[in-house]
Amino acid sequence: MPLFKSYLRFSFFRRYRYALEVLVMSRYLIRWLLIATVVGVLAGSASALFLVLLEAATVYREANTFIIAFLPIAGFVIGWAYHNWGKTVEAGNNLLLQEIRQTSRSRISWLMAPLVMVTTVLTHLFGGSAGREGTAVQMGGALADQLTPLLKLRPRDRKIILICGISAGFASVFGTPLAGAVFGLEVFLLGQLRYNALLPSFLAAVIADAVTTAWGVGHTLYPTVSVPEWSLYTFGATVAAGVAFGLAARLFSWSSHAVAEIFKSRISYAPLRPVVGGVVLIFIVWLLGTTKYIGLGIPTIEASFQMPLPQYDFLLKIALTALTLGCGFKGGEVTPLFFIGATLGNALFPWLPLPLELLVAMGFVAVFAGAANTPLACTLMAIELFGAGCGMFAGLACVIAYLFSGHSGIYGGQVVSNSKHPYWGRDAGKKLTEL
């Protein structure tokens, strides 16, 4: 009889198996549609507010450059705020990566979102050199994680919702939904892309981007880049440029970590670090006599598409950004990486047989690809910002930059899943900070 029963069940199961599966998949789709909508609305709205504040801060600073004199004070406020309220969220992006890898029981404090937004805006207002993606990603991740206890999510689903938050934040702050969706999937492991969160991540990214747009907040528009035919010259130039971008990414990661290490080892009271860093920054800006290298640097990025710029621009931006973020100011690394890549591409123009716009566009994404170890997201970003034509040029540059940045990166919490080269095979399973 048990045999007969199990046959019945088996036969029933086989016959209705596909109908059952469609039900299961529909439930999954509807569930994540709802969750991704909430995450997307939260992250997209946060990004919209952040972008508006950032724009206001930048405009005010450029109109009143004397405000840079108060950078050390702003630094103290930022350092003090994190020292007193932000101990648990100070790790920022790395905390998110850590929680995706090994979910703990404690959800990420909601404080992460306002803290990082306000301190990033302060950093920009008073003239630090920083970016936006770290802030948007942390806001997205922290806001998304507030749903974890509400929806009683299991650890498996908490990982997915954190990835959704990252994708949504990235997609909405740059206006690049595809790149955002893939970035969330790509960033937490080096050398591998897992599809567990594929659908939720895509849904959250597209919704967050649409929400930011619906708030009436736009993004910088870049030129559609036209490309030459493939030839030995253009191919060789693309490979050579990719190597240069990878080395620049490596230099940036190394500088950031080195500066942070120096400040940590020399100044034990954390809020004092950005004060000292701020003084040094003021001195450098005064020496240079220009605000070109602080803030987001969007005007320089735009100029790099049009005319030759000083060859050392990318080095100064590396130095100032490493100093700003290493001493404790807040913000992302990615817009400075765009700046570094764009100006480096610009500097390579006299040496390589590729159009200026294309070299700049390739550098824009490839230095970021090398520093964040996210070559596919960056290839998609190139397509979303500069058009489909440059896809394979940018893709090749990103992949080569990814190789040449080695096992280094701006996200120390990234874990090596597949080493970039058998030479580093023993790094597998370790965090970048442990190497």
Full DSSP string of 265-332: HH--STTHHHHHHHHHHHHHHHHHT-STTSS--HHHHHHHTTS---TTHHHHHHHHHHHHHHTT---B
The only residue of 247, 270, 282, 315 in contact with a copy of itself, by rule CB under 8 A: 247
Q: How far is the CB of 18 from a copy of itself (least distance, A)?
A: 8
Question: Per CB under 8 A, does 245 bind a copy of itself?
Answer: no
Of 109-117, 128-136, 196-204, 316-324, which segment contacts a copy of itself by CB under 8 A? 196-204
Nearest to 327 by CA among 273, 283, 285: 273
The only residue of 215, 291, 403, 430 in contact with a copy of itself, by rule CB under 8 A: 403
Q: How far is the CB of 37 from a copy of itself (least distance, A)?
A: 10
Compare residues 291 and 417 and give the one whose CB is closer to a copy of itself.
417
Of 83-91, 301-309, 313-321, 414-422, which segment contacts a copy of itself by CB under 8 A? 414-422
Question: Per CB under 8 A, does 406 bind a copy of itself?
Answer: yes
Number of residues lying near a copy of itself (CB under 8 A): 58
Of 27-35, 125-133, 280-288, 330-338, which segment contacts a copy of itself by CB under 8 A? 27-35
Nearest to 175 by CA among 342, 383, 378, 384: 384
Compare residues 324 and 408 and give the one whose CB is closer to a copy of itself.
408
Of 80-88, 162-170, 331-339, 378-386, which segment contacts a copy of itself by CB under 8 A? 378-386
With a CB cutoff of 8 Å and minimum separation 6, the contacts of 271 are 76, 79, 80, 82, 83, 328
Q: How far is the CB of 125 from a copy of itself (least distance, A)?
A: 32
Compare residues 141 and 200 and give the one whose CB is closer to a copy of itself.
200
Q: How far is the CB of 337 from a copy of itself (least distance, A)?
A: 20
With a CB cutoff of 8 Å and minimum separation 6, the contacts of 154 are none
Q: Residue 307 has which token pair?
A: 């005319």
- Residue 44's alpha-carbon distances to 119, 169, 392, in angstroms, are 19, 7, 30
Question: Per CB under 8 A, does 210 bind a copy of itself?
Answer: yes
Of 207-215, 309-317, 329-337, 346-354, which segment contacts a copy of itself by CB under 8 A? 207-215
Of 267-275, 301-309, 398-406, 426-434, which segment contacts a copy of itself by CB under 8 A? 398-406
Distance of alpha carbon 372 from its chain centroid, rounded?
7
Answer yes or no: are the C-beta atoms of 390 and 382 closer than 8 Å: yes
Give the residue carrying structure tokens 């990661």.
253
Question: Per CB under 8 A, does 257 bind a copy of itself?
Answer: no
Answer yes or no: are the C-beta atoms of 403 and 391 closer than 8 Å: no
Q: How far is the CB of 221 from a copy of itself (least distance, A)?
A: 13
Q: What is the DSSP letter of 417?
A: S
Q: Residue 154 has which token pair?
A: 């299991």
SS3 for 56-108, per residue? Answer: HHHHHHHHCHHHHHHHHHHHHHHHHHHHHHCHHHCCCHHHHHHHHHCCCCCCC
Nearest to 142 by CA among 124, 162, 157: 162
Report the C-alpha gap between 66 and 56 in whole angstroms: 16
Q: How far is the CB of 177 from a copy of itself (least distance, A)?
A: 5
Bridge partners for 144 per DSSP = none
Question: Per CB under 8 A, does 277 bind a copy of itself?
Answer: no
Question: Per CB under 8 A, does 384 bind a copy of itself?
Answer: yes
Full DSSP string of 212-260: HHHTT------PPPP-----HHHHHHHHHHHHHHHHHHHHHHHHHHHHH
- Interface residues for a copy of itself in 122-161 (CB under 8 A)? 156
Of 122-130, 312-320, 360-368, 379-387, which segment contacts a copy of itself by CB under 8 A? 379-387
Q: Residue 165 has which token pair?
A: 């938050």
The only residue of 8, 25, 59, 428 in contact with a copy of itself, by rule CB under 8 A: 25
Question: Per CB under 8 A, does 376 bind a copy of itself?
Answer: yes
Compare residues 106 and 261 and give the one whose CB is closer to a copy of itself.
261
Question: Per CB under 8 A, does 243 bind a copy of itself?
Answer: yes
Q: What is the DSSP letter of 16?
A: H
* Contact residues for a copy of itself, defined by CB under 8 A: 18, 21-22, 24-26, 28-29, 33, 156, 177-178, 181-182, 191-196, 198-199, 202-203, 206-207, 209-210, 213, 230, 235, 239, 243, 247, 250, 375-376, 379-380, 383-384, 387-388, 391-392, 395-396, 399-400, 402-404, 406, 418, 420-423
